[in-house]
């Protein structure tokens, strides 16, 4: 019962967090444009245009960011004849929890992984890699699919999907700031040297903070989503061993997904960026990981399963 109460409170928190993120995005864009408008004397019209663009981006991300996530992962529709078990498992799980069947996609990639996206249960989609289907047995695949359906049932997918578009837009703004820094200094020769320094400082601060803000937005979605989806996925299947075994296989498989941009990393059941943590930007990836360590998720499920069996 405590798990179910925790899940209900998380669903409510997810809805509130979605509103906060969308409002914060509009405010952030307006504030950044106001800074550059002040520096370059563009006038209030520029700020108004920026606010309109931010609102359009939020509105567009609400309706279309699931399509962007599917396109970014190079996913294609899963043919019911070629992927009969995939379709059958999802249909059975959806019947058991009263969800409409989401659209099903395949990502042609040997790295095992999966994600759910969409704005609500009626407009949801699940994508799995060919690598996942190749190494998982029926019980393990059912555990993974129940995990993804839990994201849909718990209203996790809306905020996760919106973040894909917003994080990408943050990156564009960072590039815009860099261009202003490079070319803006020659744009108005009436400015004195102090103003040029002023412009450079604000541009540099933005260039530094925009990517960090994008990562922080993903981090704000909360690692707890994955742990709760694990728990609620087990509640759906009533078989913790299936998901535990699946997570063990994910932990032990070093393959990296070819098409998984950082903006979509938080959507996957296992972060596709984690295997790259030994690279040049490893310390930065570890600092802003969107998933809890997969071993801690395995340990939590094993502990919960042990307590349930003891009871």
Q: pLDDT digit string (tens) for 24-61?
A: 766 776 676 666 666 555 556 666 666 677 677 767 77
d(CA 302, CA 285): 27
Is residue 142 part of the annotated active site? The answer reads: no
- Does residue 134 lie in a domain region? yes
Which residue from 250, 225, 303, 253 is spatially nearest to 143, judged by alpha carbons? Answer: 250
Domain count, the chain: 2
The last residue of one of the domains, among 167, 199, 220, is 220
- Does residue 260 lie in a domain region? yes
d(CA 154, CA 12): 9
- Does residue 267 lie in a domain region? yes
Catalytic residue among 140, 142, 148, 270: 148
CATH code of residue 143: 3.30.2010.10
Residue with more model confidence, 120 or 214: 120
pLDDT in tens, 110-125: 999 999 998 888 989 9
The last residue of one of the domains, among 194, 220, 246, is 220
Q: Which long-range contacts (CB under 8 A, 24 or more apart) does 302-305 make?
A: 302/240, 302/244, 304/231, 304/234, 304/240, 305/234, 305/240, 305/241, 305/244
- Does residue 81 lie in a domain region? no
The answer on 232 and 199 residing in a single domain is no
3 state SS of 115: strand
The last residue of one of the domains, among 190, 220, 250, is 220
Per-residue confidence band for 202, with pLDDT thresholds at 50, 70 and 90: low
d(CA 226, CA 189): 53
Residue with more model confidence, 97 or 166: 97
The answer on 231 and 303 residing in a single domain is yes
The answer on 93 and 214 residing in a single domain is no
H/E segment holding residue 178? helix 157-183
Q: What is the pTM of this model?
A: 0.75
Identify the weakest region by mean pLDDT among 55-69, 137-151, 202-216: 202-216
As a whole number, the mean pLDDT across the chain is 77
Is the pLDDT reported for residue 276 higher than 80?
no
The answer on 145 and 243 residing in a single domain is yes
- Residue 106 DSSP class: E
The answer on 197 and 131 residing in a single domain is no
The strands making up 103-107's β-sheet, listed across from edge to edge, are 75-77, 103-107, 124-129, 114-118
- Does residue 74 lie in a domain region? no
Q: Which two tokens stand for residue 36?
A: 């550059």
The answer on 153 and 6 residing in a single domain is no
- Does residue 77 lie in a domain region? no
- Does residue 100 lie in a domain region? yes
How large is the angle between the packed helices 193-220 and 2-40, nearest 10 degrees? Answer: 170
Sign of CA dihedral 252, 255, 257, 262: positive
The answer on 212 and 194 residing in a single domain is yes
The answer on 242 and 285 residing in a single domain is yes
The pairing of beta strand 114-118 with beta strand 124-129: antiparallel
The answer on 132 and 103 residing in a single domain is yes
Structural domain including 200 reads 2-69+159-220
The answer on 127 and 241 residing in a single domain is yes
The answer on 142 and 9 residing in a single domain is no
d(CA 156, CA 265): 14
The answer on 176 and 104 residing in a single domain is no
Q: What confidence score (pLDDT) does residue 277 get?
A: 41
Q: What confidence score (pLDDT) does residue 293 get?
A: 85
H/E segment holding residue 211? helix 193-220
- Does residue 80 lie in a domain region? no
């Amino acid at each position: 019962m405590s798990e179910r109460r925790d899940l209900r409170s998380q669903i409510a928190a997810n809805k509130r967090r979605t509103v906060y993120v969308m409002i914060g995005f509009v405010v952030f864009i307006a504030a950044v444009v106001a800074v550059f408008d002040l520096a370059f004397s563009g006038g209030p019209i520029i700020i108004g245009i920026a606010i309109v663009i931010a609102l359009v981006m939020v509105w567009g991300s609400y309706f279309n960011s699931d399509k962007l996530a599917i396109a970014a992962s190079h996913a294609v529709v899963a043919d019911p004849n070629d992927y009969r078990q995939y379709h059958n498992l999802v249909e059975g799980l959806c019947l058991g929890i009263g969800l409409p069947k989401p659209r099903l996609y395949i990502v042609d990639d040997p790295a095992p992984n999966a994600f759910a996206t969409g704005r609500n249960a009626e407009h949801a989609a699940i994508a799995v890699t060919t690598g996942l289907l190749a190494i998982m047995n029926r019980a393990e695949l059912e555990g993974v699919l129940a995990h993804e359906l839990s994201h849909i049932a718990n209203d996790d997918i809306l905020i996760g999907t919106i973040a894909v578009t917003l994080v990408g837009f943050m990156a564009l703004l960072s590039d815009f700031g860099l261009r202003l820094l490079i070319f803006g200094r020659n744009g108005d020769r009436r400015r004195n040297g102090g103003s040029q320094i002023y412009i450079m400082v604000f541009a540099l601060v933005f260039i530094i903070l925009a990517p960090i803000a994008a990562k922080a937005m993903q981090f704000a979605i909360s690692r707890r989503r994955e742990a709760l989806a694990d728990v609620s996925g087990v509640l759906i299947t009533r078989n913790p061993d299936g998901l535990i075994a699946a997570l063990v296989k994910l932990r032990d498989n070093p393959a990296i997904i070819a098409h998984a941009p950082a903006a979509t990393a938080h959507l996957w059941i296992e972060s596709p960026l984690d295997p790259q943590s030994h690279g040049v930007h490893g310390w930065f990836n570890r600092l802003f990981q969107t998933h809890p360590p997969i071993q801690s998720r395995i340990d939590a499920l094993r502990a919960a399963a042990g307590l349930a069996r003891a009871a």
